[in-house]
Amino acid sequence: MPLTNGASTAALEQASAASAAPSPSPAYLQWKRHQRMRVWSIRMTQFLLLVAFLFLWEVSARSHWVNPMLTSYPTAVWTSFAQTVADGSLWQHVWITLIETVASFTISMVLGVLIAIVLWLSPFLDRVLDPFLVVGNALPKIALVPIFYIWLGPQWSIYGIAVAISVFITILMAYTGFCQTDPNKLKLARTFGASRLQTLQKVVLPSNLMTIIAALKANIGLALVGVIVGEFQSSKAGLGYMIQYGSQIFKMDMVMMAIVILGIISLALYSLIQFAENAIMKTRRGAV
């Protein structure tokens, strides 16, 4: 869904940029109307799809085509939502998961980019660490959950696992991007006698702003995975805990609600990054 969002906003932007031209031709206006219709029909179809899904879910549970004990259904999820909002417990869970996610996301982003920088600054270290990074990246980090639990305790193990899951992708994406910096720009910097640190600061990092944003996008989802897995194992609060607890006492309404909220959170975080990306793209295109 975020992908179609991005595409359609880009189309809208194009249309609005072009509309600044003097006296648009009828053919152009027609084209623009057509574009608007297209965006609108995509939105409508998305909305209808969602409504149809909810409706089907509700009806099939209520008419016992499927067992409502196992699947729950939208109105029950809504009731559960209203309840937890009323007793104030929902916000606490959401808040905890959000804090954990944003914190681990930030830590792994900073850590990942720092490691990528160190690797770029020292080709020797890169060659030395390469096999370890490959293993670290390929290893299913979920396997580390019990170890983190024992080492870091119930609270910090959540951060530990979330960072472990998301940091490698950041290192790899950032470092790959750094290595693909336009060789002509690097050569130019060298002809001006630039030091490696200057090259990093003035050529490599600005060249890779978009790579780093792409890493942010990959990262946010993975951080959320890590936090939920961590909460499964150890937590007394958070959406992961709600899911775990709800399934243990067979309250599927609670489980489904927590999942829906997770979906909304991930969409919101992703949109935030997308928003930042668009803003940066705009400045870079010189639209300021």
Partner 1 sequence: MRYFSKEGETEALRNISFSVRAGEFVSIVGQSGCGKSTLLSLLSGLIAPTSGEVFVDGKKIDGPSPLTAFMLQQDSLFEWRTVLKNTMLGPEFRGTLNANTRKRAESLLTSYGLKDFMHHLPQQLSGGMRQRAALARTMCSDPDVLLLDEPFSALDFQTRLSIADEISTIIRKEGKTAVLVTHDIGEAVSMSDRVIVLSSRPGRIKAEYEIAYPSCGNDRPSPMKAREAAEYHGYFNTLWEELDAHATH
Let me know: does 230 contact 160? Beta carbons within 8 Å. yes
Q: Which of 23, 25, 191, 248 binds partner 1 (CB under 8 A)?
A: 191
- What is residue 249's DSSP assignment? T
Per CB under 8 A, the list member of 63, 192, 248, 249 interacting with partner 1 is: 192
Cα gap 84→78, rounded to integer Å: 10
As a whole number of Å, the end-to-end CA separation of the chain is 29
30 binds partner 1 (CB under 8 A): no
What mask, x for binding partner 1 by CB under 8 A, covers residues 68 to 97? ------------------------------
**Pairwise CA distance, residues 62 & 34, whole Å:** 41
What mask, x for binding partner 1 by CB under 8 A, covers residues 147 to 186? -----------------------------------x-xx-
Sign of the Cα torsion 129, 130, 133, 135 reads negative
Closer to partner 1 at the Cβ: 120 or 148?
120
**Rg (alpha carbons) of the chain, rounded to whole number:** 24
By CB under 8 A, tell whether 198 contacts partner 1.
Answer: yes
Residues 259-288 that bind partner 1 (CB under 8 A): 284-286
Q: Is there binding between residue 255 and partner 1 (CB under 8 A)?
A: no
CA 38/CA 3 separation, integer angstroms: 16
Decide if residue 212 touches partner 1 (CB under 8 A).
no
Q: What amino acid occupies position 194? A: A
The secondary structure of 238-274, three-state, reads CHHHHHHHHHHCCCHHHHHHHHHHHHHHHHHHHHHHH
Check residue 29 for interaction with partner 1 (CB under 8 A): no
Work out whether 142 is an interface residue with partner 1 (CB under 8 A).
Answer: no
Per-residue mark of binding to partner 1, 97-136 (x: CB under 8 A): ----------------------------------------
Tokens of 105: 């996301």
Instruction: Match 């639990």 to its residue by tokens.
Output: 149
Residue 284 CB, nearest approach to partner 1 (Å): 6
Cα–Cα separations (whole angstroms), residue 216 to 113, 227, 287: 11, 16, 24
Is residue 219 within 8 A of residue 109, CB to CB? The reply is yes
CA distance 227 to 96: 10
For partner 1, the binding residue among 51, 206, 276, 278 (CB under 8 A) is 206
The window from 33-41, 106-114, 161-169, 204-212 that contacts partner 1 (CB under 8 A) reads 204-212
Binding residues for partner 1 (CB under 8 A): 182, 184-185, 187-194, 198, 202-203, 206-207, 209, 284-286
